Amino acid sequence: MTTTHRPIDQRVEAPLKLTGAARYAADHAPEGVLHAVLVGAPVAAGRLTGVDTADGRATPGVTAVLTAADLPSFGTLTAPAAVLTMPFSDDVIRYEGQPVAIVLAESVAAAEAGRAAVVVHCDAAEPAVLGAGAREPAPGVEEFVLGDVDRALAEADLRLDLTYVQPPRHHHAMETSGTVARWDGDRLTVWDSVQAGGTVVGVLAGAFGIDEQDVRVICPHTGGGFGSKGFIWPHEILAAAAARIAGRPVSLHLRRSDQFTAVGYQPWISQTIRLAASADGTLQGIEHTVVNNTALADDFVEPAAIASTAMYAVPAIRTRQFVERVSLNLPTPMRAPVEGPGMWALESAMNELADAVGVDPLDLRLANHADVCPSDGRPWSGKGLREAYEEGARRYGWRDRHSRPGTDGPWRIGHGMATCSMGSFRFPGHARVRLRADGSVAVEAGVHDIGSGVQTALTQIVADELGVDPAVVDVYWGDTDLPRTGPTYGSSTTVGTGSAVAAAARDVGKQLAALGVDVDPAEALARAGVDALVGEGDFTVRNGFDMDGASTPWAMRTWGAIFVEVGVDPDFGLLRLRRAVGVYSAGRIVNPTTARAQMTGGIIFGWGKATMEESDQEPVHGRWLAKNLSNVAVPVNADIPADLDVSFVDEYDEHAGLIGAKGIGELGATGVDAAVAAAVHDAVGVRVRDLPILPWKVFEGVSSCDTAPDGR
Amino acid sequence: MEFRTQVTVVPRVNGDPVRTTVSPRTTLLDWLREHRGLTGIKKGCNEGACGACTVLVDGLRMNGCLTLVAQCDGREITTVEGLSPPDGSLHPVQRAFAEHDAFQCGYCTPGQLLSAVGCIAEGHAGDEGTVREWMSGNICRCSAYPQITAAVLAAGEGERR
């Protein structure tokens, strides 16, 4: 009884978000709520010697200033808590902004005034800064070795040995993280801005030594996350602790400046790629070495080298991962993690190899296409990369790009391309579908609305499965009282939750069939005299989490090709994105409207990473140089042309889940940086290997060229 | 010059006069959220860099975080809650945002909508380049910019017709 309706072309939550009715964590103000503000350490390294709270407490409206002495000792934290070394647990200052006090007040303004009056005393020490921290092999990561890379490098016709760097960058979700906590006896309710509410429950229960059943996390809307709200951060625990101490609900909505240190960021990453190739460009070996910064006390590894184990048909691969400990807060995944940085290095090196061999970069990729997974020989669950290359080249006009004018006024025009790819994270989940006697359908899934359009996708899936009009489907989400789904990160939501919802709908379908399929659902229920049919659905993966199909016979990834046209003004080093074409192979596209928005957003994220975004560690004091949105560039509307052409290869991946889909949220953000760097080189002959590609780097490169480059 | 600890003003909020006594330092953003319970206006940076708190003051778009309530005596404040007509239908700019899928997480959306209304009223919605430039005070980190531009152009077109 599958009737496919026209895809929903307007998000089902549109009325909420367009009228201000959509409520985010800090929009909740339970009766008697106090506002909390964190007081951070003023130096990046040293020892806390005292916190003078008298003037803070005397500030009108302030009800309390909490320091370490006031806080309970928390239970042992384990992942997915991001930070396992809670602030306040000792007197060591490990980064500037590390919370040392919490001001509670009757209003936001009073809390901020109180914050300014708190005096923090410390013995400052020399901070460990990026590039000078202690390096060690990445904890928990084993070297990957296939074949003999050393021999491949020794015997190759062509060898490249190149290092690519990207700076730390923050997620800059428009909604800063925030938690509103309320205790009712020993029961804790939090309105939290998160990407995985189900995992918050266990961490809070563990921290406070209470039962998981006594913790409820409500998160109807998340104002962007991009990874920053994926794991559980100390402020979520501190808000609940403050509420318990105060005996009143507490709202801790991070100030923008505190967001820089209270949650993570994408770390500084340096990657060295060594390629061995024969004279025609056939790859013989890849060595990929990655070092990323982590915090002094906690570990974060950015496993970027995975990209090189999965991308090209190559007989010898070796990857290594290191971390460097510096006086900064802990990094975390950011759209796009893993292959985000990994493809920046690998795809840039492939573009340089194409130039060294003298072949079109697209042909180099086609020649080295991996028909099976290079690291273990498994077949792909689905791969339409060749089609994506071909369709992208056609839509872009790649093959005759250099027959078009190469200048436009002061702008030199360059063209670049790269492969896009993300691994497939799959999490188990449970969902419920309720067909009511009036013919309406309720979908219950504790998934989060982070802007990816999950409610629309789930509505679409259930309407298709049950053959009902999408208009009769209601989705209930964002509450841990609902069936637990997987998280809303790792591009995993549609495949995981979508599959669970499809299974629940099929369960309803089976029950309906037993009542007689030839009649209208509502009529069947009425005839049987039941109020509702309730279907339960599970999406299961072995071991509770599956990465890239590891627990299956299939290697699972998503794919794509990105082509960009960039204008470069050689006199000023300015860059302009003129247009982009992205074609993606990611299984079935459940809803074209929301999928297009995801890919468009990813490309823009990639442009920001390539040309603008950078969070600098101040080299003397060790703190973030700028902790605001005024002095940290992110793309705005003027930076982005309307001509972003996004399309998908028509396919259905029957192995990744129950609905043919795979993840797309991060795919679009991969490869863009490498394509942009190639386009800059194409335009003015300048190779920039450390992101972002800022005007001064282009200008210096142009100035240092002996002869006017033609870039061809 | 005398510094007073409280001032009394009467702004009109979405058409209704509201008499209020506030600290001279209270921002329109905090006042609307905490005192009026109008949480459509969002705090993104609190220093005029992101546009999430954009409202209309006498029809002009302003950052609520950089506007003091004390400045608003007798002024007409329009928030997203007051944008749609009382009959529950959507304002043409809201409709255009829905039709062009011009939002994702929705956090910047109230500010984008009011900024779009102001942008169109200023006559800055005639072509793509102008819209992109004049909508650049509102950051959308989900990056729905092409869709926002399309929505503003369409709504502006509708207005001129």
In the DSSP assignment, the letter for residue A7 is P
The amino acid that residue B105 corresponds to is C
Residue B98 contacts A where some CB pair is shorter than 8 Å: yes
Query: What is d(CA A622, CA A326) in angstroms, rounded to the nearest whole number?
Result: 9
Q: Which tens digits make up the pLDDT trace of B72-114?
A: 999 999 999 999 988 889 999 999 999 999 999 999 999 999 9
State how far residue A88 is from chain B, nearest Cα, in angstroms: 26
Q: Do A109 and B23 touch (CB under 8 A)?
A: yes
Q: What is the pLDDT of residue A712?
A: 40
The amino acid that residue B100 corresponds to is H
Half-sphere exposure of A351 (CA within 13 A, CB side): 29
Q: Are A610 and A568 spatial neighbours (Cβ–Cβ below 8 Å)?
A: no
Q: What is the pLDDT of residue A526?
A: 83
Class of residue A631 by CB neighbours under 10 A (exposed 0-12, middle 13-18, buried 19+) = exposed
Contact list in B for residue A637 (CB cut-off 8 A) is 131-133, 135-136, 138, 140, 145, 148-149
Instruction: Give kind and range of the element (H or E) at residue A644.
Output: strand A644-648
Complex ipTM > 0.90: yes
Phi and psi for A439 in degrees, rounded to 5? 90, -10
Closest CA to A296 of A273, A326, A320, A266: A326
Count each helix (H run) and each strand (E run) in chain A, helices first: 17, 27
Q: Do B47 and A630 touch (CB under 8 A)?
A: yes
State how far residue B9 is from chain A, nearest Cα, in angstroms: 19
Does the domain spanning A31-126+174-224+229-260 belong to CATH 3.90.1170.50? yes
Tell me, yes or no, if the two domains A14-22+425-545 and A31-126+174-224+229-260 fold the same way: no
Q: What is the pLDDT of residue A709?
A: 47
Of A11, A173, A256, the CB nearest to B101: A11
Query: What is d(CA A63, CA A53) in angstroms, rounded to the nearest whole number?
Result: 12
Contact list in B for residue A597 (CB cut-off 8 A) is 101, 104, 142, 144, 147
What CATH architecture does domain A269-424+551-702 belong to?
2-Layer Sandwich (3.30)
Half-sphere exposure of A689 (CA within 13 A, CB side): 16
Tokens (6 digits) for B75? 């002024």
Question: Residues 48-67, chain B: which have Cβ within 8 Å of A?
Answer: 48-50, 52
Query: What is d(CA A471, CA A440) in angstroms, rounded to the nearest whole number?
Result: 9
Q: Are B11 and B32 spatial neighbours (Cβ–Cβ below 8 Å)?
A: no
Does the domain spanning A14-22+425-545 belong to CATH 3.40.50.2000? no
Contact list in B for residue A600 (CB cut-off 8 A) is 143-144, 146-147
Closest CA to A230 of A423, A488, A602: A488
Q: Do A107 and B34 touch (CB under 8 A)?
A: yes
Residue B23 contacts A where some CB pair is shorter than 8 Å: yes
With 90 as the cut, is the pLDDT of residue B71 above it? yes
The more confidently predicted of residues B18 and A519 is B18
Interface test with B, best of A11, A13, A16, A19 (most B CBs within 10 A): A19
Q: What is the pLDDT of residue A162?
A: 98
Domain residue limits, chain A: 14-22+425-545, 31-126+174-224+229-260, 269-424+551-702
Query: What is d(CA A251, CA A233) in angstroms, rounded to the nearest whole number?
Result: 15
Query: How many CB pairs (< 8 A) connect A and B?
Result: 178
Contact list in A for residue B140 (CB cut-off 8 A) is 174, 637
Question: Residues 123-152, chain A: which have Cβ within 8 Å of B?
Answer: none
Q: Do B94 and A253 touch (CB under 8 A)?
A: no
Q: What is the pLDDT of residue A6?
A: 73
State how far residue A98 is from chain B, nearest Cα, in angstroms: 20
Domains of chain B: 7-82 (3.10.20.30), 92-160 (1.10.150.120)
With 70 as the cut, is the pLDDT of residue B2 above it? no
Of A21, A109, A451, the CB nearest to B142: A451
Rg of chain B's alpha carbons, rounded to an integer?
16
Q: What is the pLDDT confidence band of residue B134, given thresholds at 50, 70 and 90?
A: very high
Phi and psi for A567 in degrees, rounded to 5? -95, 135
The chain B residue lying nearest A35, using CA atoms, is B34
Tokens (6 digits) for A31? 């009766």
Catalytic residues of A: 666
pLDDT under 50: residue ranges of chain A: 1-3, 708-712
The full DSSP string for A274-322 is EEEE-TT--EEEEEEEEEEEE-SSS-----TTHHHHHSB--S-EEEEEE
List all residues 6 or more positions away from A251 whose beta carbon is below 8 Å from its beta carbon. A26, A28, A29, A33, A34, A35, A36, A178, A179, A180, A239
